[in-house]
Amino acid sequence: MSGFETKVPQTNAFQTHVVDNQPPEFAPRDLWATDPALREAVAREGGAAFADRLAVYGALAGDELYRLSFDAHRDKPRLRTHDRFGHRIDTVEFHPHYHRILQAALEHGVAGLSWSEEVPGSHVARGALSYLHHQVEPGTSCPLTMTHAAVPVLRHAPALREWADKVAASQYDPRDVPIAQKAGVTLGMGMTEKQGGSDVRANATIATPLSEAGEYSLVGHKWFFSAPMCDGFLVLAQAPGGLSCFLMPRRLPDGAKNAFQLMRLKDKLGDWSNASSEVEFVGARAYRIGDEGRGIATILEMVMLTRLDCMLGSAAEMRMALAQALHHCRHRKVFGKLLIDQPLMRNVLADLAIESEAALALSMRVARAVDAAPHDPAEAAFARIATAVGKYWVCKRAPAFVNEAQECLGGAGYVEESILPRLYRQAPLNSIWEGSGNIQCLDVLRALSREPETGQALLAELDGAHGLHRALDDTAASLRVSFADAKNAETGARLLVEHLALALQAAVLLRAGSPAADAFCRSRLGGEHGLALGTLPMDADFAAIVGRAHAG
């Protein structure tokens, strides 16, 4: 026997190395218990009575729903225009996990809570549910938010009461049958056409009256029509009296398929679990809501709420990306030390943490204003303008944020199993749909010039934090000057809205006494920051900020 042969290992012949220095699985992770900033925001904004239910959903979302979400995304929805015999069916098939996730969300009130329990704090609590849900499965957030937001519009038509009631019922019934046979319903929205989305006045779909009772026939198309398996859709079309809002059911009361056809599904950058279609109306039956010619004003109530959910959604994407970065850095050693203890990485993580908390804090503050709006004109004015301000800024921040969090994981952050690639593909969407960035900024200018009470509400919010931080006081003073000619400042609208958003975020964080507030004000308002994240001033309280972000 040669000496060479005796060196061959006799056991574990196929083990090439020891797997070491890798973090444990992320899930199960209780998304409520591990998020002090969320728990505090819910309590601060009036949703404390719902804490138990949020705790249940936070645990479910961070365990079962998180695990199921991977397949729901990998296996994209498929359009089936015809059955095997050639009948037109216009159906979209989803992965079974998509249905389970949607069912869980609906049953826990992600779409219906604010309508089933119209008590103070229910919009804040539903917003928090939506935030928890969106962290793990943003695709289903699309039908959830549209279903939630349709209710105030549906309530304008007493004949459609059943639809609003069945949203409040918080049940999932995916069967393609008339709503009289269903325990719960979902709703979508059709505004965007090929020739124009931002400018919906360019809509060309024609609505022809069929009866005195407000029934119409629709002929035309929609270029983007998401979640096309919803039971009904709020649609804009040109009636004889101008652009009007309609409810178009999927199934007619007699069980017949309504006359619209799904032409194809969009091949999207992200949002893969959710289907977005192109649709043509070939004499589809629809019921008018509100007066003819008042379509934009009518549907705006829905859009206000979906825009708030865009903010909450982008804040949720940031939170999940941050949680993943923190999880990795707490377990990964590099150059002999955990990443979370490396000074430069602490700066990155702390900068991400304050951005994430600021996004959440402003979103929840707006949710409180929505709660109070029906009986408090000042809060209604605040909700009106702060939704546009926040939708612009919070959504704008998400893509760069997710990329930075991804980088904290190194190569692992570029791999699907980490969830970060999915978040990265999702992140640009909230700033595009429901009115893209410029549209939000123009809307802020419009509100400032035509509804002066909205500007007053913003300034009152900043006044509430006066004296708490020099950088905020200075910003508030200069904003007061900018307001004077805001209506003529279209070219500079983005900068104005950015400053407004940062000032509002600072005010909320300062009044909340958040450990993130000082670093936020110094970096975002006081100029002590670079263009990239991870550039907080060197004497920031990194331990407190990072510790809070991964507490629990």
Ligand X SMILES: Cc1cc2nc3c(=O)[nH]c(=O)nc-3n(C[C@H](O)[C@H](O)[C@H](O)COP(=O)(O)OP(=O)(O)OC[C@H]3O[C@@H](n4cnc5c(N)ncnc54)[C@H](O)[C@@H]3O)c2cc1C
Q: Rounded CA gap, 149 and 409, in Å?
A: 36
Give the nearest distance from C-beta 146 to ligand X in angstroms: 7
Q: Is 205 in the site for ligand X (CB under 6 A)?
A: no
CB 505 within 8 A of CB 358: yes
Q: At what angle do helices 138-154 and 66-74 cross, to 10 degrees?
A: 90
Q: Is 137 in the site for ligand X (CB under 6 A)?
A: no
Task: Indicate the helix (H) or strand (E) that contains 278.
Answer: strand 276-289
DSSP 188: E
How large is the C-alpha radius of gyration of the chain? 25
Closer residue to ligand X in complex, CB, 355/434 = 434
Binding mask 441-480 vs ligand X (x if CB under 6 A, - otherwise)?
A: -x--------------------------------------
Closer residue to ligand X in complex, CB, 41/189 = 189
Which of 114, 140, 192, 363: binder of ligand X (CB under 6 A)? 192
Closer residue to ligand X in complex, CB, 260/542 = 260
Task: Indicate the helix (H) or strand (E) that contains 36.
Answer: helix 36-44
Closer residue to ligand X in complex, CB, 156/268 = 268
Closer residue to ligand X in complex, CB, 90/434 = 434
Give the nearest distance from C-beta 271 to ligand X in angstroms: 5
Give the nearest distance from C-beta 418 to ligand X in angstroms: 23
Binding mask 404-443 vs ligand X (x if CB under 6 A, - otherwise)?
A: -------------------------x--xxxxxxxx--x-
Number of residues this chain uses to bind ligand X (CB under 6 A): 24
DSSP states of 17-37 as a string? Answer: ----S-PPP--S--TTTT-HH
Q: Which two tokens stand for residue 188?
A: 């979508």
CA nearest to 434, candidates 244, 221, 201, 226? 226
Find the part of the chain contacting ligand X (CB under 6 A) among 24-32, 83-91, 190-198, 516-524. Answer: 190-198
Give the nearest distance from C-beta 220 to ligand X in angstroms: 13
Give the nearest distance from C-beta 47 to ligand X in angstroms: 28
CB 386 within 8 A of CB 460: no
CB 263 within 8 A of CB 281: no
CB 247 within 8 A of CB 157: yes
Q: Is 209 in the site for ligand X (CB under 6 A)?
A: no
Determine the residue type at 549.
Answer: A
Q: Is 225 in the site for ligand X (CB under 6 A)?
A: yes
Give the helix, strand, coil percentages of the chain, each rounded to 5. 55, 15, 30
Q: Rounded CA gap, 311 and 294, in Å?
A: 27
Q: Report the DSSP pairing between strands 206-209 and 78-82.
A: unpaired
Give the nearest distance from C-beta 192 to ligand X in angstroms: 4
Q: Is 198 in the site for ligand X (CB under 6 A)?
A: yes
Closer residue to ligand X in complex, CB, 279/465 = 279
Closer residue to ligand X in complex, CB, 130/276 = 276
Q: Rounded CA gap, 114 and 50, in Å?
A: 11
**Which 253-312 positions form the footprint of ligand X (CB under 6 A)?**
268, 271, 276
Report the interface residues with ligand X, using CB under 6 A. Answer: 188-192, 196-198, 224-226, 268, 271, 276, 429, 432-439, 442
